[in-house]
Amino acid sequence: MKKHEMQYRKDVAFINREKDLAFLKGCLNERPESILFIHGPKSSGKTTLLYKFLEQTQEHQKLAVKFLDLRETFTNVYEDFLKSFFRVETRGEKKESLTSNINIGFFKIDASVEKKILEKRADPFKVMKAELLDLTRDGIKPVLIIDELQALDKIYLNDDKERQLITALFNFFVAMTKQAHLAHIIIASSDGYFLNTVYNDSKLKKCSRFYKVDYLTKEDVMDWLLNLEKYSKIKDYTLTSGDADKIWETVGGSMWEIQEILARLFDHPLDEVLTAYKKEMRGIIAHYTEFDKNKLQVLEVVNKKEIVSGTDFETLPIEGPELKELLRDMVKNNILYFDPTLALYYPQGKSYQWGIRLYFEQ
């Protein structure tokens, strides 16, 4: 064991994803010409995949990776955006290797540049472009990755209600990819409604690529669960193929949920854990609906078909705008997932299917 290395009875697993990794590596080996949108259901492993991709790719290429997870950043007004995207580098600060670390600080500036930006004497987009130009001149590939970009929705430039920040960002991203070919830009999101707006935006349609990261396949899940010590460092118990099949039937290929089930198995038998988990999912649905008639009608359609299109809801006695807002709310609250490229709705994984099914049965 290495000095100071932490020991756990269960470690975080990374399973397969060879197809997804190959796709991302292929994109990085092409000259930037479009924004890449990574989408998929909640807990399908999008962020984990991106970290693994960067870990593997940086071993072979000279990259300047700027990774910003907006779930970890409070962004409510334009000034919050500036603090997220720009980090003031203090005098004497140790320089980080561009090729060995992911730069969480995004764009680094000195105090004088920060002052100019805050006083609106410097354009933040020009500051970003200047750094990207410097990197490419040095033979370094800039890679900008933003997780959950929709957190910046409804933020306006300098409180100007006519200029949305996210629109300005997209214009900048198009300029850096399709026009200047300066940087690879990857945006990940589980909010299908947000991405649907992008997918149908005529200005972005011919300069964007969409790639879906879905849940693990049954084959991958079975391989994981029958080799717990190999993938999760679990030595306290083993699972039979029957046990693994029960877990698959409960949560499918949702990586986070499988790891949650594995954590509970240290202290409780499998059948007890799975029964309790299904009841918890029913509770989530019950809490969300709270006897709301319209929500119940929408979920009843989902319960019958599981995968539905917008036309399947047309027979409901709900006004169009109200129905649209309700579906948006279900997607935002992770009750349903909306696939922006196929225009289909379905529950956020098998566990939510169980929750909806049990709710209507009981």
Tokens of 355: 């929750």
Q: Of 302, 321, 322, 320, nearest to 312 (Cα)?
A: 302
Q: Are 152 and 166 in contact (CB under 8 A)?
A: yes
Neighbouring residues of 136: CB distance < 8 A, sequence distance ≥ 6: 142, 182
Whole-prediction pTM value?
Answer: 0.87
Task: State the amino acid at position 80 in one-letter form.
Answer: D
Domains and CATH numbers, the chain: 18-212 (3.40.50.300), 283-361 (1.10.10.10)
Q: What per-residue confidence (pLDDT) applies to 200? A: 78
| The pLDDT of residue 242 is above 50 | yes
Tens digits of residue pLDDT in 23-64? 999 999 999 999 999 999 988 999 899 989 988 887 777 888
Residue percentage of the chain with pLDDT more than 70: 92
Q: What beta strand segments (E) does 290-331 contain?
A: 308-309
| The pLDDT of residue 3 is above 60 | no
| The pLDDT of residue 210 is above 50 | yes
Tens digits of residue pLDDT in 83-135? 888 877 665 554 444 334 444 457 888 888 888 888 888 899 999 999 999 99
- Across 71-85, 199-213, 221-235, which has the greatest mean pLDDT? 221-235
Q: Are 211 and 238 in contact (CB under 8 A)?
A: no
Tokens of 185: 């830009």
Neighbouring residues of 350: CB distance < 8 A, sequence distance ≥ 6: 249, 250, 251, 252, 254
Q: What per-residue confidence (pLDDT) applies to 161? A: 67
